[in-house]
Amino acid sequence: MADTAQGGAMRRGRNETEEERADRMWQELIQEVRVAQMGVQILFGFLLTVVFTEKYDDLTDTDQTIYLVTVVLGACATGALIGPVSLHRLVSGRRVKPQAVRLASRLTLLGLVLLLATTTASLLLILRVATHDGFVPYLVAGVVAWYLLCWFVLPLWTRYRHTSK
């Protein structure tokens, strides 16, 4: 929707103040973070239980290393995706919402990258334990390519293709 800005020039977008825009963007960001948080917390919770199973002792050194890396990645992803909530709570009422939204958005993007790494490492470990076939790296690479397409390539393409100048 185009409207007339001061000076008669046409501009696209919403007619909102910086604070109103920050409020809207914060609400959208929190909704997005809720979805990602749920996934990473469930995955991380399951990962934490693996070490207490009998099967863990039977893992090769390589698989135990993959497991440890996966748990650390899951912990980091959890921290990054919960970070925006803590950020909001600690700066609430300080009149820094536009800056907080930018920082929370960066934390969320970092959390998604870490979630991608956690999911990839989890899949690699599970498939290595479930089957010792040589196709495991190719299968994992295919899934990672799918995640990259869904999580980053399509959104960036849409941003590039449909953002007006």
Which residue range forms the structural domain that includes residue 41? 17-132
Three-state secondary structure call for residue 133? coil
Asked if 125 and 66 touch (Cβ cutoff 8 Å), the reply is yes
Asked if 127 and 136 touch (Cβ cutoff 8 Å), the reply is yes
Whether 113 is in a domain gets the answer: yes
Whether 33 is in a domain gets the answer: yes
Whether 21 is in a domain gets the answer: yes
Sort residue 163 into left (φ over 0), alpha (ψ -120 to 50) or beta: beta
Positions of the chain with pLDDT under 70: 1-12, 165
CA separation for the pair 87, 47 (Å, rounded): 26
Q: What is the pLDDT of residue 12?
A: 56
Whether 117 is in a domain gets the answer: yes
Whether 104 is in a domain gets the answer: yes
Total number of domains in the chain: 1
Half-sphere exposure of 87 (CA within 13 A, CB side): 23
Q: What is the pLDDT of residue 130?
A: 94
Q: What is the pLDDT of residue 80?
A: 96
Three-state secondary structure call for residue 95? coil
pLDDT in tens, 114-127: 999 999 999 999 99
CA separation for the pair 90, 109 (Å, rounded): 20
pLDDT in tens, 84-99: 999 999 998 899 999 9
Whether 157 is in a domain gets the answer: no
Whether 89 is in a domain gets the answer: yes
Three-state secondary structure call for residue 116? helix
Task: Indicate the residue type of 52.
Answer: F
Whether 12 is in a domain gets the answer: no
